[in-house]
Structure 1
């Protein structure tokens, strides 16, 4: 989101092509750590393979390559990155000693139905037919663009999720921050960053936000997505600010249909970023629940890693941080999957702030079994 803290696996071919370009076949993060005598472990489930500031402060075709909020693997193996300033970049991402360096190779100006760049684009999905689904926090909305990034069509949005006075979202900077397409392509899931007015907390005092899904039949286009189940999700408290909670900044589907969830917050002491694995299968559909929690069974989540605990890998920081490696992480894509081991690419949104950094992160995550 602008000036504040601020999508689905592509085809197997694209994922394998990207896996090759990132050089992950040359050995695991553990092997590299031994070779370099550096510990890459963030937790028992997550290693940080490397980072890169190659995009920080750069221009491409007179556009600022920053404010990046969403990532997706495209069909040709490149990375699509959406900026909250209505720009969609194409990136060539490669690996240098585990560090994911990137080079812009294309950019598209996103527009609304009237041709204006009045969007706050936050998350991105690339569908099987190469259409682009992009969220905007302003209304909020999900727009479907053709492969060229033009001819937008809006998906129907549940009224409750709209910004006041049309709905119950109190702040347009805390709406649709995450978007992902589940395996099989039938279910689209979006995440609200913050709570709706009137929704409460769980028994432990955690703020409750909503995840919204849409469904379509096999073979249908993105325009055929229909509003489906809605779920309640409890976000963590901000460890630095007792009066604030973390917010969901991104979600990404795993091959078995669970969700990776980034919860992120900021304080004068620095950024907090946590990676969770969430399971929607046992959660109650809260479409008809006016105020959470009610009797709802919330989404179950498992902490994979608190990224504050990752090694900093010698990263620089422009402002106070608990861990100099961290900044305002908002985008995430699964670039390959082998069994329960996933390769992830993350990006931070610098908010066009000289004290922040546009940074790419390469992570390896090992998922616990669905019965854990």
Structure 2
């Protein structure tokens, strides 16, 4: 499959992000056909597409007319109006998508609106105030519209009976969103808990060429304006936006008469202030071929005290990696420094939320070291564990008694790894043909460590060929980690903390960026096709000064979470999605912390499989597929 090159967010944009939690309440991708549009957010309230008379009508675009342009991608084609906004004729000014009042989006103190739009008549926007998103009953609520007097700027209006109305903030009057027949990504954040600078406007594009037409340096999401709600005599701390009795309307207003004449796609309403890195993942996710989507679902804790194979009560904490055994339906984690493996029994509901978690037992293994990665072969009779010793090692242990079975051969270049930044990642493919390991930050012969906000650290990946019990070194690849997202530095800085295989052979990379105030987690899809095998030639002994092509990566998820160390794809949910479990390093204090994620992996076509190098698909550790440790919602 083809992938999108990741555009690195500017430091200024990232530093503008407050440490706030956000969650998608409503998300409409408009990819279906028919008169209804489903939501895959925490609220599943559907939209109804309507013509000007209010009759339910299929207003989906033709196939491949969505923002990505790929087959299967549609959009909301709201082009039935004769013109934008107030200039539309009375007979055509009612086209819209709407839903009844949704309590999930009423009463929000902070929220983020995002999506894509395209119009062929951007000069006609001035003075006509067409609406993009509105949830408003005339006295309470919000609406996002185009600013009167500017051919292509956005205005957010907040109304509440608790304060003078309306309060307004705009992106200016320079036409920041004025692109004729060009898809433009928009995002607007409102912080009702702040009295100044409480509205931020973001913009992005499909590619750099389209971005250049509007004077942007790149397609990546960037902060283009920050404003305060336009009130000089009243407090700007609006608090909760008043509960409104009106429904949500996209592409018009509740009273009608303000249609947006164009295409709208991939609309989200998030509770909270969505950070720029997450907005960038929204932008890239809407454009990817065979896109993978990843969403955080839940978190919980489990006890650190458990019995080992000798029935001794021991403590297992500082979990640094995790893997899934589909045969038993359980997970295995590895402790950072104690040489202990922990078996976990975790149950999920049908939406991927953790509904039960328990520490079952433990295995103490020989050769105690600084263990960081774990990979279970089929049947889980043994386990491979990577470490951060000097030089770094990968060993196989018997899971019944913890005895050492073998130590793998590791290329000598890895002896130049930095202390405590060695083999952090280890993953085994579902078809049992390869394992992939990676160091946490660059080898000393490959480049700088991950402590800079501008210069990335380049880590070295090691592919190993698996044939029965034999595991031998093969290709090596360079992986460019994103620079540290904010200062001051905290923990290890910016690192590759985990690699994980998906059932179709694709790879995920989990990056962790630690400042002293927060930890940003980014999850990428990794594509090795076209990357240089740096185990050959001059690059084999160091990347500094050499010419090479790193693996490509596409951002799938980004948010402020804890110090995630391990990530494992687990059972399949009833709707076909996969649930993943991540572990935090608790630094030796408190319970072990678990996070669940939901992964939607569309069925790739033959071309995508060949590009990914996948000839035989399977479900790891069990020919019958992943055992479902899932409880139906009641």
Match of residue 597 from structure 2: 363
SS of residue matched to 1:209: strand
Q: Alignment RMSD, CA only?
A: 3.0
Distance 1:216 1:331 in 2: 22
1:47/1:33 CA distance change after superposition, 3 Å: farther
SS of residue matched to 2:416: coil
Q: 1:111 aligns with which of 348, 366, 386?
A: 366
Distance 1:103 1:337 in 2: 20
Distance 1:49 1:351 in 2: 23
Q: Is the 8 A contact 2:487 2:516 kept in 1?
A: no
SS of residue matched to 1:135: strand
Q: 1:194 aligns with which of 410, 433, 441?
A: 441
Q: 2:555 aligns with which of 288, 299, 303?
A: 303
Q: 1:160 aligns with which of 404, 408, 413?
A: 413
1:305/1:34 CA distance change after superposition, 3 Å: same
Match of residue 92 from structure 1: 345
Distance 1:151 1:362 in 2: 31
The structure number with the bigger radius of gyration is 2
**Residue 213 (structure 1) shift:** 1.0
**Residue 245 (structure 1) shift:** 4.9
Distance 1:281 1:256 in 2: 15
**Residue 77 (structure 1) shift:** 0.8
Deviates more, 1:291-300 or 1:206-215: 291-300
Equivalent pairs, count: 308
Q: 1:54 aligns with which of 295, 298, 302?
A: 302
| Superimposed CA distance per residue, residues 210-258 of structure 1 (whole angstroms, 9 cap, x where no aligned partner) | 00011133xx11xx11110000000011111387851111110012222
| Superimposed CA distance per residue, residues 67-92 of structure 1 (whole angstroms, 9 cap, x where no aligned partner) | 11111112211111111121101111
**Residue 100 (structure 1) shift:** 5.0
Distance 2:356 2:526 in 1: 29
Alignment of 1:253 onto 2:524: no
Q: Which runs of 5+ in 1 are unaligned?
A: 1-27, 113-117, 162-166, 309-325
Q: Which runs of 5+ in 2 are unaligned?
A: 1-37, 46-102, 106-269, 283-292, 308-312, 449-453, 613-634
Distance 2:505 2:455 in 1: 28
| Superimposed CA distance per residue, residues 158-186 of structure 1 (whole angstroms, 9 cap, x where no aligned partner) | 1111xxxxx21131x10001101123111
Match of residue 398 from structure 2: 146
Of structures 1 and 2, the one with the larger relative CO (CA 8 A, separation 6+) is: 1
Q: Is the 8 A contact 2:485 2:515 kept in 1?
A: no
1:302/1:100 CA distance change after superposition, 3 Å: farther
Q: Is the 8 A contact 1:53 1:360 kept in 2?
A: yes
TM-score, length of structure 1 as denominator length: 0.74
Match of residue 31 from structure 2: none
**Residue 337 (structure 1) shift:** 5.1
Distance 2:387 2:570 in 1: 24
Match of residue 209 from structure 1: 459
1:33/1:124 CA distance change after superposition, 3 Å: farther
Distance 2:383 2:593 in 1: 23
Distance 1:34 1:340 in 2: 17
Alignment of 1:77 onto 2:329: yes
TM-score, length of structure 2 as denominator length: 0.45
SS of residue matched to 1:225: strand
SS of residue matched to 2:592: coil
SS of residue matched to 1:184: coil
Distance 1:212 1:343 in 2: 26
| Superimposed CA distance per residue, residues 115-165 of structure 1 (whole angstroms, 9 cap, x where no aligned partner) | xxx31111111101522101111131111112313233100111111xxxx
SS of residue matched to 2:432: coil
Alignment of 1:1-372 (within 5 A): 30=40, 33-34=43-44, 37=104, 44=282, 45-55=293-303, 58-61=304-307, 62-74=313-325, 75-84=327-336, 85-95=338-348, 98-99=353-354, 101-112=356-367, 118-130=368-380, 131-139=382-390, 140-148=392-400, 149-161=402-414, 167-171=415-419, 173-200=420-447, 205-217=455-467, 220-221=468-469, 224-241=470-487, 245-288=493-536, 289=539, 290-292=541-543, 294-308=546-560, 326-336=561-571, 341-353=577-589, 358-367=592-601, 370=608
1:302/1:225 CA distance change after superposition, 3 Å: same
SS of residue matched to 2:404: coil
Distance 1:111 1:29 in 2: 50
Distance 1:196 1:253 in 2: 23
1:122/1:101 CA distance change after superposition, 3 Å: farther
Q: Is the 8 A contact 1:94 1:102 kept in 2?
A: yes
1:302/1:287 CA distance change after superposition, 3 Å: same
Q: Is the 8 A contact 2:317 2:335 kept in 1?
A: yes
Distance 2:403 2:39 in 1: 40
Distance 1:199 1:257 in 2: 27
